[in-house]
Amino acid sequence: MLELIKSSERGYADHGWLKSFHSFSFADYFDAKRMGFGALRVINEDRIAPGTGFGTHGHRDMEIISYVLDGELAHKDSMGNGSAGGAHSGVIRPGDVQRMSAGTGVRHSEFNHAEGQSTHFLQIWIQPNQLGVAPSYQQEHFAAHEKRGRLRLIASADGAEGSVRIHADARLYAALLDGSESTSLDLAPGRLAYVHVARGRLEVNGQSLSAGDALQLREEASVLLSAGQDAEVLVFDLAP
């Protein structure tokens, strides 16, 4: 069963410094039909104006993934990341995937320090299958050629293939598709899949999707991606 969600059906918030589209209910946007999908709770498409960002705030018991499309995002947290002498610089750019396991609690901030360039990124929240874990942070780079014409695993429960490790029964893939390129993902019986088009156009199981569109798949044997036009796409393989 396929359910297409058009970009225009998403929630939208304009805070001046931040413009954000919400795929699921978030903050002041509420839609009882869009509370999440499997363990996937949030996909926000955010654009942060130069010299602005999210001030220090807290999270707990959530797996938070940031995926930058354009510009850069500077992260600083209570674990020391982003600080002088910290384990990680906290700055992520296109191709980088950042994972923060909030666990028992963490405070962080996110800023766009670049002059004259907006930061365009996806903020993804996945509900964990373990509560109360120690907060942790990871960032990895996935070059464009790794995603060209194929689904590259970028987040998983076991950190397979160099993906960032999440405390959730979920696997997240990214792909770049154009022209005759096509790829597919087999789904185990009972699994859910969620496809989000970050930019461009493509077909998913015969459905035409454009930037910001999503497709929810239930009781499908596979996800088939084809007919891309400068497409960048994320595919989630989720427990029911």
pLDDT score of 133 more than 70: yes
Q: Which residues pair with 193 in a beta bridge?
A: 217, 237
Q: How many CA atoms lie within 13 A of 86 on its CB side?
A: 17
Are 137 and 99 within 8 A, CB to CB?
Answer: yes
Residue 222: count of CB within 10 angstroms of its CB: 11
The confidence score (pLDDT) of residue 115 equals 86
Mean pLDDT check: name the lowest of 62-66, 112-116, 233-237: 112-116
Are 106 and 78 within 8 A, CB to CB?
Answer: yes
pLDDT score of 151 more than 80: yes
How far is the C-alpha of 42 from the C-alpha of 36, rounded, in Å? 7
**CA distances from residue 213 to 21, 34, 110, 129 in whole angstroms, order as listed:** 11, 14, 26, 27
Global pTM? 0.95
pLDDT score of 85 more than 90: no
pLDDT score of 87 more than 70: no
In order of their start, the domains of the chain are 2-238 (2.60.120.10)
The confidence score (pLDDT) of residue 191 equals 98
Q: What is the pLDDT of residues 51-78, one digit of tens each?
A: 999 999 999 999 999 999 999 999 988 9
Query: What mean pLDDT value characterizes the chain?
Result: 95
What is the pLDDT averaged over residues 196-225?
Answer: 98
Q: Give rounded-to-5 percent helix, strand, coil for the chain.
A: 5, 55, 40
pLDDT score of 83 more than 80: no
Q: Which residues pair with 24 in a beta bridge?
A: none
